């Protein structure tokens, strides 16, 4: 016999699928974003399984607090904030579809999180890292070109490993590609990066590719598109070789790119455009770092800074 209590939430899976289809076909969200929504909704599904008496379509304030208490046992404040945003979106959709009368998540505030400290490499550390990469083998030529382009252009790693040959314009010294959110990005390609990229494409890439044919610029040792995991392993190898005593991760080159430009006088709007940020408020995080650089420079060089 069917459990009468469990029938209260058996439709959750159907509502979840309908919501995800709405995000995919009406909101046109990218696959990775859809997966994030799906992961967040999975937490609600798991909580409903543990609490079969709870009706998610008539969830009360106490029910929401119970769900939050459950979330805090399995994730960080930042992750809880993301799940709360998903819940607000899901129930907004449910209101639109007339499956619930109101959105009970609107008055639930996100947890306060500590301001994230952005790690950067200083210019000498970047130079030491890049100079530590030898250029004797095809894979080393690839690595040299890969990291020179990453730092020269301030790319996201996803943009770097998805770069295709026809997106490089050596004559104009630019890269033209689709960035985050399917927005076209056009970024300058510096002379040093251009030199190493040409050398890789001319002398090494065909030897890595062998019989496999692909348009992607950076390939792994099997001739396939470079993956995030493969890139990460290569990065760690050279970070260790360069003896950098910092947490070196892929995005640190993008952070360093933006900070170094601001330190050397670039304006914020230009850096925003180069990074491909849709909002300048996202770029403004680097101005705080730049102020610290200005202050450090003052105390180091001003002739009357000390008594």
For residue 174, what is the enclosing H or E element? strand 174-178
Query: DSSP states of 208-244 as a string?
Result: HHTT----BSSB-TTSSBPPHHHHHHHHHHHHHHTT-
Residue 28 falls in which region: left (phi positive, over 0), alpha (psi -120 to 50) or beta: left
b/e 7-27 (16+ beta carbons within 10 angstroms → b)? ebbeebeebbeebbebbeeee
**Catalytic residue (one of 180, 199, 225, 293):** 180
Has 251 been annotated as catalytic?
yes
Please state, in angstroms and rounded to a whole number, the distance separating the CA atoms of residues 142 and 208.
Answer: 9
Has 264 been annotated as catalytic?
no
**Catalytic residue (one of 142, 144, 254, 255):** 254
Has 115 been annotated as catalytic?
no
**Catalytic residue (one of 43, 142, 144, 156):** 156
Which residues does 122 contact at the CB level (< 8 Å), separation at least 6? Answer: 256
Has 9 been annotated as catalytic?
no
Structure tokens at 59: 């969830």
| C-beta of residue 187 within 8 angstroms of C-beta of residue 175 | yes
**Catalytic residue (one of 24, 92, 225, 277):** 277
Has 37 been annotated as catalytic?
no
Has 277 been annotated as catalytic?
yes
**Catalytic residue (one of 251, 264, 291, 295):** 251
**Which residues are catalytic, by number?**
156, 180, 251, 254, 277, 286
């Amino acid at each position: 016999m069917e459990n009468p209590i469990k029938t209260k939430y058996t439709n959750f899976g159907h509502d979840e699928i309908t919501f995800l289809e709405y995000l995919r076909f009406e909101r046109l969200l990218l696959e990775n974003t859809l997966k994030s929504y799906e992961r967040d909704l999975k937490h609600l599904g798991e909580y409903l399984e543990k609490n079969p008496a709870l009706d998610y379509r008539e969830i009360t304030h106490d029910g929401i607090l119970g769900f939050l208490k459950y979330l805090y046992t399995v994730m960080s404040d930042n992750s809880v904030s993301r799940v709360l945003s998903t819940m607000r979106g899901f129930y907004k959709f449910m209101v639109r579809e007339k499956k619930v009368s109101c959105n009970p998540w609107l008055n639930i505030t996100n947890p306060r999180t500590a301001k994230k400290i952005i790690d950067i490499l200083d210019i000498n550390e970047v130079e030491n890292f890049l100079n530590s990469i030898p250029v004797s083998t095809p894979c080393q030529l690839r690595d040299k070109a890969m990291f020179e382009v990453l730092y020269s252009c301030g790319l996201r790693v996803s943009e770097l490993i998805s770069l295709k040959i026809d997106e490089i314009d050596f004559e104009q010294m630019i890269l033209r590609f689709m960035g985050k959110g399917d927005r076209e990005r056009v970024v300058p390609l510096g002379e040093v990066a251009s030199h190493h990229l040409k050398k890789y494409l001319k002398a090494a890439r065909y030897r890595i590719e062998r019989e496999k044919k692909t348009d992607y610029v950076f390939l792994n040792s099997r001739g396939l598109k470079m993956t995030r995991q493969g890139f990460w392993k290569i990065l760690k190898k050279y970070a260790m070789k360069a003896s950098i005593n910092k947490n070196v991760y892929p995005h640190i080159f993008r952070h360093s790119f933006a900070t170094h430009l601001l330190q050397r006088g670039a304006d914020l709007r230009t850096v925003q455009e180069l990074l491909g940020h849709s909002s300048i408020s996202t770029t403004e995080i680097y101005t705080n770092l730049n102020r610290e650089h200005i202050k450090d420079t003052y105390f180091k060089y001003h002739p009357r800074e000390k008594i």
